[in-house]
């Protein structure tokens, strides 16, 4: 579960795939469109980088959730948290 990551700090974030065991990995990404001018662009790019990396294998699954009015605050994260938990642990269907 990754909420409102500070991707502008290191936009070219690299994942060390040598030590990664990604079998059956689920990643829930969340960002708010009102966090910064570049947040949506960065989170979509981050998702694309994950998908194209060795870290994400066939059994991995990524869900990207964007609230276009969302801000970088606990209020928005608390609204998203139940959705993330449901998808990560209780939802067997693909999104």
> Exposure string (b/e) for 28-46, b if CB count within 10 Å is 16 or more?
bbbbbebbbeebbebbeeb
pLDDT of residue 22: 59
- Give the global pTM: 0.79
> What digits encode the pLDDT tens for the residues 42-74?
899 888 888 777 666 666 788 999 999 999 999
Region of 4 please: left (phi>0), alpha (psi -120 to 50) or beta: left
């Amino acid at each position: 579960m990754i909420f409102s990551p500070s991707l502008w700090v290191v936009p070219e974030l690299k994942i060390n795939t040598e030590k990664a065991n990604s079998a059956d990995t689920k990643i829930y990404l969340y960002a708010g469109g009102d966090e910064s001018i570049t947040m949506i662009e960065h989170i979509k790019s981050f998702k694309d980088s994950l998908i194209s990396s060795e870290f994400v294998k066939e059994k991995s699954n990524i869900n990207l959730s964007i609230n276009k009015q969302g801000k970088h605050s606990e209020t928005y994260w608390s609204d998203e948290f139940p959705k993330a938990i449901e998808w990560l642990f209780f939802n067997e269907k693909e999104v």
